Amino acid sequence: MSTVEVTKDNFEKTIEDNALVFFDFWAPWCAPCRFFGPVFEKASDKYPDAVFAKINTEDQPELAAALNINSIPTLMVFKEQIGVFAQPGALPEPALEELIGKVQELDMDMVREQLKARKN
């Protein structure tokens, strides 16, 4: 599966309709974004069960602001509608592969319990 373009109009639906979503916040003028783009695209082909979405911060400034994106590229990951990772910086392919593996293995029942405990 190749990457998909996400906007403020389909951001929430993308999270709601998919169990695992990786978001790449980027801009065309950003050199590290241009480095990370092909790495992200390659991962999208390798992991068809996940959605790999790109958000152009130049075209979607409201969405970037709402999510406190202060630096690009920023990678944000949602699993089962819960944000489980957000970090600025271009990851090399081995680091992205390791992150994908860790997110896939993440016990979401434990994550929900931890979130519930924090609220109490």
The residues carrying an active-site annotation are 30, 33
Rounded Cα distance between 115 and 24, Å, is 25
Neighbours of 24 (CB within 10 A): 26
- DSSP annotation string for 17-83: T-SEEEEEEE-TT-HHHHHHHHHHHHHHHH-TTSEEEEEETTT-HHHHHHTT--SSSEEEEEETTEE
Q: Is the dihedral of CA 42, 39, 65, 57 positive or negative?
A: negative
